[in-house]
Chain A
């Protein structure tokens, strides 16, 4: 082998070793900077993919929709004048809604999903809220029905966007309790690699030999101060138990509809003491 090739190989290996020895914080900061710079491409790609899906419909259907939309625009312009008069009233209602939100959590931010990651084993989505909106790493993300979607991950956070690790990913683990009973506890996690394809999650029970009724609702558990997910949020419903050799597991259907997820809420502040459990929501509740 030529001398020049050996030098190139040595330089390559040295650079690789340097990369491997970077601290997780440095890597997260590096990734965050890169994603901040790359996020316009991610946003455009997300929008383009949405357009591609729309374009697959027959031309006649699109033209009909265009006609309907034109009519709707006309009606909306007319209604806009009335809405202007009702603006002050809407503001009052907004304040009331904010109050309602604050009564359960200290603060929530509505966010739209702008991109789903398909080229990775990880189940993540990108939302249109970031550091500028007060988002930080590890903030829990829920649906309007109080069902868990996932959490904001370090490294994927930019000024205007954030990456959310979905509940269907194996690495998104949620301490849970089953039903209202605090005695049945376990850990909910997704599948490895196929979280993007099959929205199923597993519940690994803490104790063995426990009978789990199908249809039992799984909630987030209280595991102490500093936990990521506030206790009492909806996780899913038990589909069937899966007995294992050392641990009992159950297949759980998430209550968040991951295939049609568009709008989510990031809980920026739980507004509750760690020891207290908020009123348990039921499937169908809205914040």
Chain B
């Protein structure tokens, strides 16, 4: 039951994400990424197979919404005309990124179980930062040339920082859900 609620709330967060506009220049045009933050916070509480399922679901939704298919069709694009065909962002990489974040968060379960939330919260911020950097660097790798303007670095850092600020609220909600559904997060050592 608890796992089902987590999946439903993740989808709800995916819809909410759609309503969040980009912040202004004072906040370096940051985006509040509630969706990945909710995923990471819930990943700590789930068992390993459930976390993997959640990562697959989260990554698939992310890719379906945000991966763009360019050049699929029969038209002669300028790329072809100028011999400059470059790779697309691979569909499915979102799932890999979410699985990486989930595995990372799963590693701090002992800290979470001791109610020491400082490290999981910091790791959530680091996770968002890593997710955005990986996503952008993978795109860069596929396109073959490196470019990383400073404005982008500021945007990524601000996004991670502001998004991280929401994780304590999410941990509180998860704690409340634990109580409501009688769910017990257990740590079973290396195999848990």
Q: Which residues A150-198 have CB closer than 8 A to chain B? A: 153-156, 163, 165, 170-175, 187, 191-194, 196-198
Please tell me which one of the listed residues B29, B64, B79, B147 contacts residue A31 in the complex, with CB atoms under 8 A apart: B64
**What string of 1s and 0s marks CB contacts (under 8 Å) between A1-40 and chain B?**
1101101110110011001101011011011001100100
Residue A275 interfacial (CB < 8 Å): no
Contact of A228 among B77, B82, B139, B147 (CB under 8 A): B77
| Contact mask for chain A residues 87-117; partner B; CB cutoff 8 A; 1 contact, 0 none | 0000000000000000000000000000001
B76 touches A12 (CB 8 A): no
Please report the C-alpha to C-alpha distance between residue A7 and residue B20 in the assembled complex, in whole angstroms.
Answer: 38
Stretch binding the partner chain, chosen from A44-52, A61-69, A209-217, A254-262: A44-52
Asked if A8 and B52 make an inter-chain contact with CB atoms under 8 angstroms apart, the answer reads yes
Among the stretches B84-92, B111-119, B179-187, the one at the interface with A is B84-92
Q: Is the CB of A122 within 8 A of B68?
A: yes
A119 and B79 contacting across the interface, CB-CB below 8 Å: no
The listed residue (B29, B49, B64, B152) touching A8 by CB distance below 8 A is B49
User: Shortest beta-carbon distance, A189 to chain B, in Å?
Assistant: 9
**In the complex, A165→B69 CA distance in Å?**
10
CB nearest neighbor in A for B35: A119
25 A–B pairs (Cβ distance < 8 Å), ordered by A: A4-B49, A12-B52, A16-B99, A22-B92, A31-B67, A31-B69, A35-B65, A38-B64, A118-B22, A119-B17, A120-B68, A121-B139, A122-B68, A154-B70, A155-B69, A170-B143, A173-B84, A175-B81, A191-B149, A194-B149, A194-B152, A198-B151, A226-B75, A226-B76, A227-B77
Query: Given that A9-B52, A153-B70, A197-B155 are known contacts, is A16 also in contact with B76, CB under 8 Å in the complex?
Result: no
Q: Which residues of B contact A12 (CB under 8 A)?
A: 52-53, 55-56, 99
Query: Which A residues are CB-close (under 8 A) to B143?
Result: 170, 192
A223, B136: Cα distance in complex, Å: 31
| C-alpha spacing A124/B65, complex, angstroms | 12
Beta-carbon contacts of A214-225 to B below 8 Å, as 1s and 0s?
000000000111
Shortest B47–chain A CB gap in Å is 8
Within the assembled complex, what's the spacing in Å between the Cα atoms of A60 and B61?
A: 42
User: Inside 8 A of A163's CB, which chain B residues have their CB?
Assistant: 68
- In whole angstroms, how far apart are the Cα atoms of A45 and B31 in the complex? 15
B4 within 8 A of A: no
A42: CB under 8 A from chain B?
yes
* A123, B105: Cα distance in complex, Å: 31
Flag whether B5 is at the interface (Cβ < 8 A): no
Q: Are A206 and B149 in contact (CB under 8 A)?
A: no
| Complex Cα spacing A73 to B119, Å | 58
- A-B complex: 10 closest residue pairs judged by Cβ atoms: A8-B49, A175-B78, A19-B92, A45-B18, A118-B22, A155-B69, A2-B191, A154-B72, A223-B81, A34-B64
Interface residue total, chain A, C-beta cutoff 8 A: 66
Q: Considering only CB atoms, which chain A residue lies closest to B19 in the complex?
A: A45
Assembled-state Cα–Cα distance A12/B96 (Å):
10
Nearest-Cβ distance from residue A190 to partner chain B, whole angstroms? 12
For chain A, what secondary structure do more than half of its interface residues adopt (helix, strand, loop), or is it mixed? mixed
**Chain A residues within an 8 Å CB radius of B122:** none
List the A side residues contacting B81 at CB < 8 Å. Answer: 175, 223-224, 227
Cα A153 to Cα B67 in complex, Å, equals: 11
Chain B residues near A20: list those with CB within 8 A.
Answer: 90-92
Return B167 CB to nearest CB of chain A, in Å: 18
Within 128-175 of B, Cβ neighbours of A (below 8 Å) are at: 135-136, 139-140, 143, 147, 149, 151-152, 155
Q: CB-CB < 8 A to A24: which residues of B?
A: 69, 72, 88
In whole Å, how far is A199's beta carbon from the nearest beta carbon of chain B?
A: 13
Instruction: Choose one: A15, A19, A171; the contact of B68 (CB below 8 Å).
Output: A171
- Specify which chain A residues have a CB less than 8 angstroms from the CB of B192 in the assembled complex: 2
Assess the A119–B49 pair: CB atoms within 8 A.
no
B1-40 residues at the A interface, CB under 8 angstroms: 15, 17-22, 29, 31, 33
Q: A228–B75 contact, CB under 8 A?
A: yes
Query: Given the interface contacts A8-B48, A49-B21, does A155 sit within 8 Å of B191 by beta carbon?
Result: no
Q: Flag if B136 contacts A121 (CB, 8 Å).
A: yes
Q: Please, how many angstroms separate the alpha-carbon atoms of A228 and B81 in the complex?
A: 11
Chain B residues within an 8 Å CB radius of A45: 15, 18-19
Q: Which residues from A are CB-within-8-Å of B56?
A: 12, 15-16
B67: chain A residues at CB < 8 Å are 27, 31, 155
In angstroms, Cα B22 to Cα A251, docked, is 26
